[in-house]
Amino acid sequence: MPRALPTRRVPRHHLMPHRPAQRRGQAGAPPLRTSDLVLALLGVALLGGLALAAALTLAAGATAP
């Protein structure tokens, strides 16, 4: 009796995964605005500065009597 499925799968070498083409009518993610990028970088810089100031304060307080 023949088998319905082969015993081994045929290897397929795809360089890129298959992705369906995007249609212009579909609503996707909005494009990234430059102002959003600038605000994100500013927030990261401010948080880094705050962390650096806190570390310096703790280090200076630990050496003082």
**pLDDT per residue rounded down to tens, the chain (65 residues):** 666 766 676 666 666 666 666 666 556 677 888 999 999 999 999 999 999 999 999 988 866 55
pLDDT in the model for residue 19:
67
Q: What pLDDT is stored for residue 12 in this prediction?
A: 66
Range of the domain at 52: 33-64
Q: What is the model's pLDDT at position 4?
A: 72
Cα 23 to Cα 1, 8, 11, 26, 64: the distances in Å are: 47, 37, 31, 6, 65
Residue 49: inside a domain? yes
C-alpha span between 11 and 21 (Å, rounded): 25
* Structural domain count, the chain: 1
Is residue 42 situated within a structural domain? Answer: yes
The pLDDT of residue 20? 66
Residues near 28 by beta carbon (within 8 Å), at least 6 away in sequence: 22
